[in-house]
Amino acid sequence: MPLPRATLALAQLVLLAVPHAARAQSAATPPIYTMIRLADSLYRAKRWDAAADAYVRAATTGRSPLAVYNAGAVLARLGRADTALVWLRRAAALGVFSPDAFAGDSDLVALRGDARFAAVLDSARASWEPCARDENARRFDFWIGEWSVRNAQGRPVGQSSIQRVSGGCAILENWTGGTGVVGKSLNFYNHDTKQWQQYWVGQQGDQVLFTTSDWHGPTLTFHATTTDPSGTRALKRLSFTPVARDTVRQFSETSSDGGRTWSTEYDFYYARRP
């Protein structure tokens, strides 16, 4: 069961002040924090029925994810699977409890062979890491890996470690150039704009925020507007293309005339390291 737990002494004091629901169903519901502390204390005292009742009362307010989860867990311990699963489904959908919390909770042992509990676990996984199942958030996965990087002429220019981070909701670039210069970029699918974005920061103070992007077949192209120290504005576009299973092309271009003409900044090929 999740923490926190109150002491039995506290529970006894609360019981003196707050009639138990089983004895006073019409009594006004006490403040939620008091009810949760009461439920925790009853759980510690192994007063399962009373604990379940207190958690359900707290969960019914809709303001405590912990109470929702614990209501289901204690009901499962009591063998009341149908009602327990109602609360556990709600808890899983909240996205605040990891699948491991459900899978490893000793109060839920009796449910582990139940197909309905397997569905709860699946829901918990989907809510815990929603990007893992989002096709838009996974579309740039071809760049993830450990890479040796060469230019179009075949000369080594650096190495890069591209990692899936934040539960699969972002991709982190860790670049090391051939001269030792380093930089990182954070790449993510923005659900508000429906586009991928990238924010690059290099160790020499260079920064580029690519706020828009588009796809042309398998190629993802980022777009940015930059301003150099002299105040000159330029357009940038940065394209990534999966050339083969273990090869990715990264092609950077810039325009100083509003996009009428473009010049190549660099043309890199990533080869996946074994």
pLDDT digits (tens, 9 = 90+) for 209-232: 999 999 999 999 999 999 988 889
Annotate 219-257 with b (16+ C-beta within 10 A) or e (fewer). Answer: ebbbbbeeeeeeeeeebbbbbbbbeeeeebbbbebeeee
If one counts the domains in the chain, the total is 2
∠ CA 41-47-51, nearest 5°, is 60
Residue 1 domain-assigned? no
Residue with the larger pLDDT of the pair 197 and 14: 197
Residue 241 domain-assigned? yes
Residue where a domain terminates, one of 128, 159, 188: 128
Determine the pLDDT at residue 62: 72
Residue where a domain terminates, one of 128, 155, 189: 128
pLDDT digits (tens, 9 = 90+) for 14-51: 333 333 433 333 345 458 889 999 999 999 999 999 99
Residue with the larger pLDDT of the pair 32 and 96: 96
Same domain, 63 and 91: yes
Same domain, 177 and 121: no
Determine the pLDDT at residue 182: 98
Cβ partners under 8 Å of residue 80, min gap 6: 52
Give the residue numbers spanning the domain of 44: 8-128
pLDDT over 90, % of the chain: 85
Q: 10 Å Cβ neighbour count for 200?
A: 20
Same domain, 88 and 214: no
pLDDT beyond 60 at 1: no
Residue where a domain terminates, one of 128, 162, 185: 128
